[in-house]
């Protein structure tokens, strides 16, 4: 083949620009630590990366939701445990009063204690968490019970997303724990007991003992309901944690460049560029030799 001078210079230019392009690509991978710097680097992996990143964002959101709702649910559980204590105290007093040998003046002071316990229970039932009143159902802006012990909330479940298609109930029903919806209206029972003590009504006092026994188990049931819900959140949290770990592994596999490989590639390309430059220099010096001297 006849070789003209421009063929030689063109081919030098072409090979130099080709190795330099490859060097740029290799240095981009090595310096960013990412295999995919543009979707065209690997379209399938780039699309997969978008999916994985969306799932990671979701798993992170689920986890922060779980952390958020766990606080209020734990508070509900411990509030209910205190409520059980209060009701048991009231029950003790009622039992003591019901044995018939208590003097009338003591009954009056017992009535006073019951009234105090009732206020204590009211404060517990109106406990507020980060999302508002814990036991008002969906009426989180309204106290669960009025000062007179009348329920002002509703029996609605509040739900939160704790996993794909996994909406967990994150509140405990105040209606079930404290009102007739769960069996006994605890505040009415305490009021009735207070009246029975004041009026020295043995039948009323013994009815109060029964009602408070029932109330105690009713609130205990609500407490264990909170425990079950917390367990479910814990399970959901560990599922999300595992999901996140496996997604992070997937993300790493899709995107992260192997540092050793990237560095080796970079060095290979560097010496390729050096060789291309050396070769070009030789060719060019032949071309520029004075052939006409």
Partner 1 sequence: MTLNGLLNLGSEALQANSFALNVTGQNIANASTPGYVTRTPILETQVDGSLTTGGVQATGVSRAYDQYTQARLYDATGLSSAADSRNSALQQLQSVFNDTAGTGLSAPISALFTSFSSLAANPTDTTTRENVLAAASGFTQAVNSASSSIIQQRQDLLSQAQGVATEINGYATQLASLNTQISVAQGEGNDASDLLAQRDQLLTQLSADVDVHTATDGKGQLVVSVSGTTLVEGGTAASLSVSTDTSGNMTLLSQTGTGPVVDVTSQLTGGKLAGIKEARDVDAEAEGQSLDQLTYDIGTAINTQQEAGYASDGSAGQALFTLGPSAQGAASSIALNPAMVGNPQLVAAASSAATAPGGSDNAVALANLANENIASGGTTTAADAYANIVGDVGLRAQSAQQDSETRDAMTSQVQTMRDSTSGVSLDEQMVALSNYQSAYSAASQLITTASTLLNGLITDLTP
Site residues (CB under 8 A) for partner 1? 1-7, 9-11, 14, 34, 36-44, 46-51, 53-55, 57-58, 60-62, 64-65, 68-69, 130-132, 136-141, 154, 156, 158-161, 164-165, 167, 170, 255, 287, 291-292
- Closest CB to partner 1 among 8 and 200? 8
* Least distance CB 200 / partner 1 (angstroms): 43
Cβ neighbours for 190, distance < 8 A, ≥ 6 positions apart = 90, 114, 117, 118, 121, 149, 208, 212
Q: Which is nearer to partner 1, 103 or 292 (CB)?
A: 292
Q: Two tokens at 224? A: 């264990």
Closest CA to 280 of 24, 13, 1, 5: 13
128-129 and 166-169: which strand pairing? unpaired
Q: Which is nearer to partner 1, 33 or 202 (CB)?
A: 33
CB of 43 to partner 1, least distance (A): 3
Minimal distance, residue 13 CB to partner 1, in Å = 9
Residue 292 CB, shortest distance to partner 1, in Å, is: 6
Closest by alpha carbon to 197, among 84, 119, 96?
96
Shortest distance, position 116 Cβ to partner 1, whole Å: 30
How far is residue 30's CA from residue 266's CA, in Å, rounded to a whole number?
Answer: 7
Pick from 49, 52, 20: nearest CA to 34: 49
CB nearer partner 1, residue 132 or residue 227: 132
Residue 248 corresponds to which tokens in the numbers above? 């992070």
Between 8 and 217, CB nearer to partner 1: 8
């Amino acid at each position: 083949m006849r070789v003209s001078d421009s063929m030689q210079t063109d081919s030098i230019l072409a090979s130099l620009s080709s190795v330099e392009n490859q060097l740029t690509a290799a240095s981009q991978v090595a310096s960013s630590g990412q295999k995919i710097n543009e979707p065209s680097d690997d379209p399938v992996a780039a699309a997969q990366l978008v999916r994985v990143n969306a799932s990671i964002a979701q798993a992170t959101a689920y986890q922060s939701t779980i952390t958020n709702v766990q606080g209020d649910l734990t508070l509900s559980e411990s509030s209910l445990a205190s409520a059980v204590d209060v009701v048991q105290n009231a029950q003790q007093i009622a039992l003591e009063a019901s044995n018939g040998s208590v003097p009338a003046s003591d009954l009056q002071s017992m009535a006073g204690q019951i009234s105090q316990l009732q206020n204590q229970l009211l404060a517990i039932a109106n406990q507020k968490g980060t999302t508002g009143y814990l036991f008002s159902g969906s009426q989180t802006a309204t106290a669960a019970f009025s000062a007179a012990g009348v329920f002002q909330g509703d029996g609605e479940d509040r739900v939160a997303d704790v996993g794909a298609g996994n909406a967990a109930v994150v509140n405990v029903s105040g209606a079930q724990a404290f009102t007739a919806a769960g069996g006994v209206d605890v505040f009415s029972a305490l009021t009735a007991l207070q009246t029975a003590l004041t009026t020295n009504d043995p039948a009323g006092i013994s009815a109060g003992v029964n009602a408070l026994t029932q109330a105690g188990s009713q609130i205990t049931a609500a407490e264990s309901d909170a425990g079950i819900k917390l367990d479910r959140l814990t399970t959901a949290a560990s599922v999300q944690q595992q999901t996140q770990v496996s997604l992070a592994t997937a993300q790493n596999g899709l995107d992260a460049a192997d540092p050793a490989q990237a560095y080796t590639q970079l060095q290979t390309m560097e010496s390729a560029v050096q060789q291309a430059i050396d070769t070009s220099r030789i060719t060019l010096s032949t071309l520029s030799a004075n052939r006409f001297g």
